[in-house]
Amino acid sequence: STQPVTIAVSGAGGNIGYALLFRLAAGDLLGPDTPVRLRLLEIPAGEAAAAGTQLELIDGAFPLLDQVSVHTDATEAFTDANIVFLVGARPRTAGMERADLLEANAGIFGPQGRAINDHAAADVRVIVVGNPANTNALIAQRNAPDLPAERFTALTRLDHNRAVGILAAEAGVPVTEVTGITVWGNHSPTQYPDLSQASIGEVAALAAVDVDWARGAYIDRVAKRGAEIIAARGSSSAASAASAAIDHMRDWVLGTPGDAWTSVALVSDGSYGVPAGLVSSFPAQSIEGRWAIVPDIDIDEFSRARIDASVAELIAERDAVAALGLL
């Protein structure tokens, strides 16, 4: 049988961790032939919750679960890891300024990036879920100078999947009919879900739905879906976030199907006017285990303004972290 793959999950005692770990143990990431070793990383305050999840993982008697361990030390958790989900982050609390939030998270993602750099497997792939996800990924990547920058990504697949699901519902079609959507920019309310290249079946999306809706209420609904979920459920999206993180990592390892593309926050190579080095969401295909930004997509005036606005926010976050001396 196949060698086990080592998967580390930070924030393992939290809401997303609880949804994610059982999917990983069931083989939803790499399929039914690949055993997994799960490393659950927490801070001391979350250790008991992670240990409880460890017990439940044992009680699942998952045939593919080779090992499950709990750690409060990042070096231990990341040693020989092939795949890392960085989910744990410092949330914004009442009275916290934006600079305080960025500083607290740099204090997490800097050392975690360094530990991955020094101890993870040579083929390690990292996805950052914890917010502010794009800038946290940038910080981790900058602290891992020995690894190719492309090994660090952030989750905008949830935004992408929301964009697909909401469009399909509006058009009254199954999600499998929807292609060509891109979410650009930051995982924040400035994100831009772009329907200009999208199709519903064989029909251009902008010919199938109202253009004012596509450029107005639709963008708002996708970008503010997180708040809509909190209002409805009383807690933030967890299962959909875990599912999207698995979609992202599975496509990265196994490839995107056919000529379809998805949305991934990647270290920019300067494509589409996004300054090189920023972690921003792009249309991307996974080919032979690497993300490639889809080239030569037409950017109209409306899209240009929306992309630029979200990228401006990423630049401001980067500059704020740099001003604190943390980059």
162 or 209: CB nearest ligand NAX = 162
Query: At its nearest, how many Å lie between ligand NAX and the CB of residue 15?
Result: 4
Q: Which of 127, 139, 100, 166 is nearest to 29 (CA)?
A: 127
Residue 314 engages ligand NAX in binding (rule: CB under 6 A): no
State how far the Cα of 181 lies from the Cα of 260, in Å rounded to an integer. 10
Residue 185 engages ligand NAX in binding (rule: CB under 6 A): no
**Beta strand 83-86 pairing with 125-128:** parallel
46 or 283: CB nearest ligand NAX = 46
Q: Which residues lie across from 184 on neighbouring strands?
A: 192
Query: At its nearest, how many Å lie between ligand NAX and the CB of residue 109?
Result: 8
128 or 293: CB nearest ligand NAX = 128
Residue pair 54/68 in contact (Cβ under 8 Å)? The answer is yes
Query: At its nearest, how many Å lie between ligand NAX and the CB of residue 105?
Result: 9
The reply to whether 16 sits in an annotated binding site is yes
Longest dimension (CA), the chain: 55
- Interface with ligand NAX (CB under 6 A), residue total 29
Cα end-to-end distance, the chain, whole Å? 43
Q: Which of 222, 272, 224, 281 is nearest to 248 (CA)?
A: 281
Indicate the length of the chain as a whole number. 327
> Which of 7, 9, 16, 116 forms a contact with ligand NAX (CB under 6 A)?
16
Query: At its nearest, how many Å lie between ligand NAX and the CB of residue 14?
Result: 2
Q: Which of 94, 99, 100, 36 is nearest to 69 (CA)?
A: 36
Please identify which of the residues 71, 119, 160, 187 carries the catalytic annotation. 187
Q: Tokens representing 246?
A: 């698995």
The reply to whether 255 sits in an annotated binding site is no
Q: How far is CA 138 from the centre of its chain?
A: 13
Give the 3-state secondary structure percentages of the chain, helix then strand then coil, rounded to 5: 45, 20, 35
Residue 15 engages ligand NAX in binding (rule: CB under 6 A): yes
Query: At its nearest, how many Å lie between ligand NAX and the CB of residue 3?
Result: 27
51 or 171: CB nearest ligand NAX = 51
Q: What is the DSSP string of 155-186?
A: --HHHHHHHHHHHHHHHTS-GGGEE--EEEB-
**Residue 256: C-alpha distances to residues 32, 44, 123 (Å):** 19, 38, 19
Q: Which of 23, 140, 22 is nearest to 89 (CA)?
A: 140
The reply to whether 11 sits in an annotated binding site is yes
Q: Which helix (H) or strand (E) holds 10?
A: strand 5-10
In which order are the strands placed within the sheet that holds 178-179? 178-179, 199-200, 203-204
43 or 121: CB nearest ligand NAX = 43
160 is catalytic: no
Residue whose C-beta lies closest to ligand NAX: 14
The reply to whether 45 sits in an annotated binding site is no
> Which of 84, 88, 198, 214 forms a contact with ligand NAX (CB under 6 A)?
88
The reply to whether 112 sits in an annotated binding site is yes
Residue 143 engages ligand NAX in binding (rule: CB under 6 A): no
> Which of 155, 178, 274, 293 forms a contact with ligand NAX (CB under 6 A)?
155
**Beta strand 182-184 pairing with 192-194:** antiparallel
Interaction pattern, residues 30-59, with ligand NAX; x per rule: CB under 6 A: -----------xxx-xx-------------
List the binding residues for NAD(+). Answer: 11-17, 105, 112, 129-131
Active site members: 187
Would you tell me which residues interact with ligand NAX (CB under 6 A)?
A: 10-11, 13-17, 41-43, 45-46, 87-89, 91, 108, 129-131, 133, 155, 158, 187, 226, 236-238, 241
